[in-house]
Amino acid sequence: MKFQRFIPLFVLAIVFSYFQVQAQPQSALSAYIRENYTKREVYITVRDGVRLFTSIYEPKDKSRKYPILLNRTPYTVAPYGADRFKPSLGPDALFAKEGYIFVYQDVRGKWMSEGTFADVRPDIDNTDNSKIDESTDTYDTIDWLVKNVDNNNGNVGTYGISYPGFYTSAGSIDSHPALKACSPQAPVSDWFHGDDMHHNGALFLTQNFSFFSGFGQFRPTPTSSGQSYLKPWKGRNSPDGYDIFMQLGGLKEVADYYQTAIGQRIDFWDQMMAHPNYDQFWKDRNILPKLKNVGCATMTVGGWYDNEDLYGALNTYRHIERQNPNILFNVLVVGPWDHGGWSRNDGDWLGTAYFGEKTGEFYRTQLEVPFFNHFLKGEGDISKIKEVNAFDTGSHEWRSFDGFNPPNANPTTIYLGAAGTLTFTKPVGRAVAYDEYVSDPMNPVPYTQKITQNYPRDFMTEDQRFAGTRPDVLVYQTEPLTEDITVAGDIEPNLFISSSGTDSDFVVKLIDVFPDDYRYPQGLRPPQNSAWSVFQPGGYQMLLRGEPMPARFRNSFEKPEALKPNTPTPLNFVMPGVTHTFKKGHRIMVQIQSTWFPLVARSPQKFMPNYKVGTTADYQKATERVYRSSNYPSGIRLRIIK
């Protein structure tokens, strides 16, 4: 959903990034599209009278009928104009030659479409035909297309990555009969528990501040140019995001800064600030429990290293599976990719992590094209598409399972021990034992060692040695493994913690520690465009997963509770899973800390109304303890495949 560049440097970049295609030299593919497709632009009127701007690319060859592939987006269907063509069509560059009618639509209230935009518009019970949501807009669009586009075969597929992934899954609710296949990819699903805005209710600060500085500006009337309404950024343009947000102070000051930087409030940001807990506002915008009456074949796609919407991918698949018992085809694909990386990258590298094969190419040729061809054209071999298709990021191979938490996986707790050990043996002895650190919000632990404004895509595989040397980060690791251990499915920290304050965050990271003598395969090193092209991987502490958990939400996301100072308290939560083999000779590591800045907004470390932190005076140091005794055994539950 977000953009690689930190948008406040130049807010109009959010617009121009979508129009760069017009200035690029014409490639062989773009030339093919011009030669073989005609383009027309229409307005499709939906049930409440609003007109949605739609671009239609139709094959010039009329000797056969074609299925329709529909993409609905808030990010513009540019380029606009019947004589201006996209340089690629469909989910990836392979599709232009596969024989489809391609349709792109600006969602209501964005760009050239009429109506009022609403972020993650709540789905409604469609019992009143005068009321609308994204499922009705999709239904009405499909109905118009199959009746008004010549040479279509009556079959429609939908797809989209990130926010367009939300429109894909939302559009499958109460599916139109012509909708035969959909692929929600990194779909936005639940902005409180795990996607984009928050993880377990903890605000993901830097990426959302940058995103809403442009995307959150109000578009008053339909337009093909962001220059007509986007206000330029007048705030600070330092490359150091850590320092930017330290200087801004508390979340109230961050919210107010928009007024200075772009001269207006950002409505959705202010709405977030007004709804710090999981109340009806967030429940209405959680699409997961509403994914019902899905009548089309569904392939949900996600990336293990997608900081934004891995939660959405994993849970969209699981909720569709659970809530649609009669669905004929519902599968999940997860590979070693960042946000949307499967559509554009080779997928053999992500930062300093090497995965042994071009996983992106495999996905596009062996999974994505066959999926749509099979269900929309009656062609294509889908035998390689299993129920759960998960790339093992440790053994570098594709694995298939019958469910996200594989039935043959044994839930096993690995316990925190004395002197930084991590063991499969539960602590013994009733004496209270713990490790402690002082968490200082005025000196927070950085989430990356890079100087960056917005988050770097590869921070989720970044070497964690820079963090483990800090006194406010606890480090636990096993001895070198004597055999491979394959983990698949959810990760569940089960901790006993205490704080000298009345609230704190606890960030848990799962890490694969490579042997000291590990080297990349001969002749290989990270891509030259990586800042870490000279990185030496001996002893690499490769981040696999990291998640924050605010202690205030330990019992309820709806009704937060203060901690009783210095009192051992259970803190249990679920992290998005992995499929990863810790190889023989590697170590399993867990790091625990209370800040992860500025990716995650700082907690004041005292129980106060969330998002009301106004100034630096609201932050306080806290002594945090993590217990590891028989009375208070802390550990991480992993699902290990035997």
d(CA 116, CA 227): 19
Pairing of strands 330-335, 297-303: parallel
**CATH code, 619:** 2.60.120.260
DSSP letter assigned to residue 556: -
- Residue 23 pLDDT greater than 60, yes or no: no
d(CA 412, CA 633): 14
Would residue 199 count as lying in a domain?
no
- Residue 21 pLDDT greater than 50, yes or no: no
Task: Provide the mean pLDDT of the chain.
Answer: 93
Same domain, 39 and 84: yes
Point out the domain boundary residue: 246, 267, 284.
Answer: 284
55-93, pLDDT tens digit by residue?
999 999 999 999 999 999 999 999 999 999 999 999 999
524-568, pLDDT tens digit by residue?
988 866 655 678 899 999 999 999 999 999 999 999 999 999 999
Query: How confident is the model at residue 527, as a pLDDT?
Result: 86
Same domain, 12 and 154: yes
Same domain, 256 and 358: no
Point out the domain boundary residue: 372, 401, 430.
Answer: 401
Would residue 347 count as lying in a domain?
yes
471-516, pLDDT tens digit by residue?
999 999 999 999 999 999 999 999 999 999 999 999 999 999 999 9
Same domain, 279 and 300: no
Query: How confident is the model at residue 423, as a pLDDT?
Result: 98
Query: How confident is the model at residue 64, as a pLDDT?
Result: 97
d(CA 618, CA 145): 56
Query: Could you identify the residue written with the tokens 């958990």?
Result: 549
Q: What percent of the chain is predicted at pLDDT more than 70?
A: 95
Q: Give the residue among 638, 576, 507, 17 at the shortest CA–CA distance from 307.
A: 576
Q: Is-contact 407 573, C-beta < 8 A? A: no
**CATH code, 133:** 3.40.50.1820
Query: How confident is the model at residue 532, as a pLDDT?
Result: 57
Same domain, 468 and 614: yes
Query: How confident is the model at residue 127, as a pLDDT?
Result: 77
Would residue 297 count as lying in a domain?
yes
Same domain, 267 and 339: no
Q: How confident is the model at residue 603 (pLDDT cuts 50, 70, 90)?
A: very high
3-state secondary structure labels for all residues of 566-619:
CCCEEEECCEEEEEEEECCCCEEEEEEECCCECCECCCCCCCCCCCCCCCHHHC
Two tokens, residue 51: 């007109």
d(CA 64, CA 95): 17
Q: Is-contact 124 159, C-beta < 8 A? A: no
Q: Give the residue among 170, 187, 186 at the shortest CA–CA distance from 302.
A: 186
Q: Is-contact 192 278, C-beta < 8 A? A: yes
Point out the domain boundary residue: 401, 432, 449.
Answer: 401
Would residue 200 count as lying in a domain?
no
Q: How confident is the model at residue 47 (pLDDT cuts 50, 70, 90)?
A: very high
Query: How confident is the model at residue 2, as a pLDDT?
Result: 38
Same domain, 501 and 420: yes
Helix (H) or strand (E) holding 547: strand 541-550
- Residue 597 pLDDT greater than 60, yes or no: yes
d(CA 438, CA 472): 6
Query: How confident is the model at residue 25, as a pLDDT?
Result: 43
Same domain, 362 and 419: no
pTM confidence score: 0.95
Output the CA–CA distances (angstroms, integers) from residue 327 to 34, 176, 312, 370, 516, in the order listed. 38, 14, 19, 19, 49
Query: How confident is the model at residue 519, as a pLDDT?
Result: 95
Q: How confident is the model at residue 612 (pLDDT cuts 50, 70, 90)?
A: confident
Find the Cα–Cα–Cα–Cα dihedral 86, 88, 91, 93, rounded to 10°.
180
Number of Cβ within 10 Å of residue 474's Cβ equals 22
Burial 328-346 (b: 16+ CB within 10 A, else e): eebbbbbbbbbbbbbbebe
Same domain, 503 and 371: no
Query: How confident is the model at residue 315, as a pLDDT?
Result: 98
Number of Cβ within 10 Å of residue 146's Cβ equals 18
d(CA 570, CA 168): 38
* Parent domain of 269: 205-284
Query: How confident is the model at residue 529, as a pLDDT?
Result: 61
Output the CA–CA distances (angstroms, integers) from residue 267 to 213, 214, 270, in the order listed. 11, 12, 5
DSSP letter assigned to residue 193: T
Would residue 625 count as lying in a domain?
yes
Would residue 1 count as lying in a domain?
no
- Residue 15 pLDDT greater than 80, yes or no: no
Would residue 2 count as lying in a domain?
no
Query: How confident is the model at residue 48, as a pLDDT?
Result: 96
**CATH code, 219:** 1.10.3020.10
Would residue 163 count as lying in a domain?
yes
Q: How far is CA 233 from the centre of its chain?
A: 26
Same domain, 553 and 591: yes
Same domain, 414 and 520: yes
Same domain, 280 and 290: no
Query: How confident is the model at residue 126, as a pLDDT?
Result: 78
Number of domains within the chain: 3
Q: Give the residue among 69, 275, 77, 278 at the shortest CA–CA distance from 159.
A: 69
For 67, half-sphere exposure in the C-beta direction (CA atoms, 13 angstrom radius) is 23
515-536, pLDDT tens digit by residue?
999 999 998 988 866 655 678 8
**Bond prior to 79 in cis (omega within 30° of 0):** yes
